[in-house]
Amino acid sequence: MGAPEKTIVVDFGGQYTHLIARRCRDLGVYAEIVPQDCVLDDAMLAGVRGVILSGGPRTVSPEDLERFSPNLKILRDRRIPVLGICFGHQLLAVANGGELAPGGNPEYGRTKIRVVDNSSILKELEREQLVWMSHSDEVRSLPDTMRTLALSKDDRIAAYESTDRLVFGVQFHPEVTHTPNGMSVLEAFLRDVCGYRNMWTPEDQVQSIIKWIRDEVGNGKVLMGTSGGVDSTVAAFLIKQAIGDRLHCVFVDNGLLREGEREEVETAFREMGFPNFYVVDASDEFLNNLSGIEDPEEKRRIIAETFIRVFERKARELEKRYGRFDFLGQGTIYPDRVESAATGKATAVIKSHHNVRLPDWMRLKVVEPLRDLYKDEVRRVGLKIGVPERMIRRQPFPGPSLAIRVGGPVTREQLSILRHADRILQEELRRDPIYERVWQSFCVLLPVRSVGVMGDERTYDQACVIRIVESTDAMTADVSTPRWELLLNIASRIANEVHGVNRVVYDLTSKPPGTIEWY
């Protein structure tokens, strides 16, 4: 499903690895991620004009050099330029004869650098430029075959290039939005140094995705769990376009959904012309299994296992009516794979992933039409193929649903309180122009109580957190800054209208360092 011309991003375990690939795509260059222990052979390098090495959470070791040096030789022999970012910057310097100073002198967050040579990949940067740093090791010295492009505090090497312009390194992270003009660094490397000319867009991939589904599925049938979220809806629509009524979609009502969600999804799938769409009400089963559970990871596990049992029962029922299913459709996208560490052995696991795990008896092959796309790319594809805009513009919703927005045990009463608060938040936000910029907005119930006053009476009720963030792909997110009057109005309505809440707070944490969801 990729374009013939591409760049490769080697994953050394940094959480920004997929963000690098995402930014390359923003610049119209298709990017694929490969693990750090890959072998850059002829097949992998077909169509590759440049390679980027990601950051990572460790010090460059002799093992790293021994493992990756053969790849560096191949790239040099083929005269394929390589750019190292953070850990990749350090690895390239040491591999070419530079000296590394491990630990003891860290730079984290926004840092000012001084550009001393702007004739290369830093040509669009100011002489003094703010960048985003995240490292403790540093390149202490460079070999004669390299020259310094930028320095940070105390004249530490922040960027360099080789004299033959085949090796480049930046200690900072150009891929994050916290580095102003960072995209210009990547663009200069990809377009000017590597010579990429084609413009890749996700919309252009629609026909190749549909063809891939047809080739993969053949004459088989696909069973798919659909949540009504953007990812599963677009994936289902693509599969339907590819194989028609051989797709069967199952929507499970787990009792943890937002207000009116089940009805909205049923209506949308009926209007989109899905002939085989089934709703299973398993709310009692989910809530009974979650009774008394406080730990969010345990909630995720229980919800996943309960979903499997419910899905399996429905699958057996459908197989009796329609015969054997051959494939399981899923709406997996790139960020899913990042946060479940599916793309690299060294990537840290942030949260367990919630996609369907196959019951042993089913032995189905998985079809994931969107596994190489990011959320905003999925939205663009969805609009291209005719998915209703109201479904495309829906905010992301976690697989474990409202269970992970309730701190402490999940009960019907807590869910009712949370739904009421969330409805107020959404009502007020939709009336304001800021809603168009919002990636995700929701409420969280905290497992703490505080003293309040309602009229002349003392209350001892729960605290509700309002969370509003802006993002393009969920890899990073900035806290949103609504008008103060809007926030005050939302807080006032929740405190006065939602029985059980007497205190409302606003979460000011961006990602990183936090995650978008609380639990």
Catalytic residue numbers read 86, 173, 175
Per-residue H/E/C for 336-399:
HHHHCCCCCCCCCCCCCCCCCCCCCCCCCEEECCCCCCCHHHHHHHHHHHCCCHHHHCCCCCCC
- Residue 241: phi and psi, rounded to 5, are -65, -30
The one-letter amino acid code at 43 reads: A
CA distance 510 to 61: 32
Tell me the one-letter amino acid at 485.
E
Query: What CA–CA distance (Å, rounded) separates 18 from 379?
Result: 18
Q: Which of 206, 209, 176 is nearest to 383 (CA)?
A: 206
Neighbouring CB atoms inside 10 A of 144's CB total: 7
CA within 13 Å, CB half, 413: 7
Query: Which tokens hold the place of 447?
Result: 């497992």
Query: Across the strands, what pairs with 253?
Result: 281
Instruction: Name the token pair of 511.
Output: 């990602």
CA distance 330 to 327: 10
Q: How far apart (Å, rounded) are the C-alpha atoms in residues 83 and 76?
A: 12
Distance (Å, rounded) from C-alpha 50 to C-alpha 68? 16
Give phi and psi for 333, each to the nearest 5. -125, 175
CA angle 196–200–205, rounded 5-degree value = 145
Q: DSSP E strands: which ranges in 194-306?
A: 222-225, 247-253, 277-281
Region of 220 on the Ramachandran plot (φ > 0 left; ψ -120 to 50 alpha; else beta): beta
DSSP string across 429-441:
HHTSGGGGG-SEE
